[in-house]
Amino acid sequence: MSLTGKTALITGASRGIGHAILLGLAAMGATVVGTATSDKGTKLITDALAAKVYAGGAVVMDVRDDNSVAAALAAVEEGYGAPAIVVNNAGITADNLFLRMKMEEWQSVLDANLTALYRVTKPCLRAMLKAHWGRIINISSVVGISGNPGQANYCASKAGVIGFSKSLAQEVASRNITVNVVAPGFIGTDMTNVLSEEQQTQLKKSIPMQRVGTPEEIAAVVCFLASPGASYITGETIQVNGGMYMQ
């Protein structure tokens, strides 16, 4: 299961699911580079890596900004080598009923959750194609499959992640590059902590396992998809949701 010698890029690794993925891939021997939107976030990443004596570092990247992504990717390549593993994890919500949804709320969510995959993945592909090895793992959501009232923008972006991944998987499979999706359910992070206690209780009732998932439970599946053991899996979406939604 070792990833020694591979560089892994994880967007949005300062906290939550991305942070757990960062530590999970590092534990498997990868040199990990996590991104955050601020110096405060990159410090959280480098401190966590230093505490465990893991190889890697952090860069500032705003996935909505072409120039920021380009500068960050250049720094990653120079400092750690071209990523062989890319985890597109950074994501945001801006919930509203569709009739009340402002264009800004629609646009910002589509930009951060979906268009970011274009910005980050495309420049990273060249080195993977050359190396005849690559792992691209994109984080969607259960609601990208089921839909959810109040989240038309978020659900559209997360459904788009799945369609994108299936298409790219078919384009690059012959070069030994896999493209897969992990679709988490309700996971305990800052993103879900903003929900009221009542909303959280209601949500838990809809989960057969009757609890929220942990970031580590998502990271475990990402780590598997990055590992040599998953070499024949591509274009797949793995749901990790405690039974909340079953296809």
Q: Which is nearer to ligand NAP, 12 or 57 (CB)?
A: 12
Does residue 18 contact residue 185 with C-beta atoms inside 8 Å?
Answer: no
Residue type, 204: K
CB neighbours of residue 17 within 10 Å:
29
Tokens found for residue 10? 């994880």
92 binds ligand NAP (CB under 6 A): yes
Stretch that binds ligand NAP, among 15-23, 71-79, 122-130, 170-178 (CB under 6 A): 15-23
36 binds ligand NAP (CB under 6 A): yes
242 binds ligand NAP (CB under 6 A): no
206 binds ligand NAP (CB under 6 A): no
Q: Restricting to residues 50-69, name those near ligand NAP by CB under 6 A.
A: 61-64
Q: Restricting to residues 170-199, name those near ligand NAP by CB under 6 A.
A: 184, 186-187, 189-192
Q: Catalytic one among 54, 118, 154, 232?
A: 154
Q: Which is nearer to ligand NAP, 39 or 228 (CB)?
A: 39
83 binds ligand NAP (CB under 6 A): no
Tokens found for residue 108? 């910002």
For the question of residue 154 being annotated catalytic, the response is yes
Task: State the Cα–Cα distance between residues 198 and 203, nearest whole angstrom.
Answer: 9
> CA distances (Å), 91 to each of 8, 18, 30, 139, 206, in order?
18, 10, 23, 9, 23
Nearest approach, Cβ of 131 to ligand NAP (angstroms)?
A: 26
H helical segments located in the chain: 16-27, 39-52, 66-80, 103-110, 116-131, 143-146, 152-172, 190-193, 197-205, 215-226
33 binds ligand NAP (CB under 6 A): no
Tokens found for residue 97? 């009923």
CB neighbours of residue 111 within 10 Å:
16
Contact residues toward ligand NAP (CB under 6 A) are 11-18, 35-38, 41, 61-64, 89-92, 112, 139, 141, 184, 186-187, 189-192
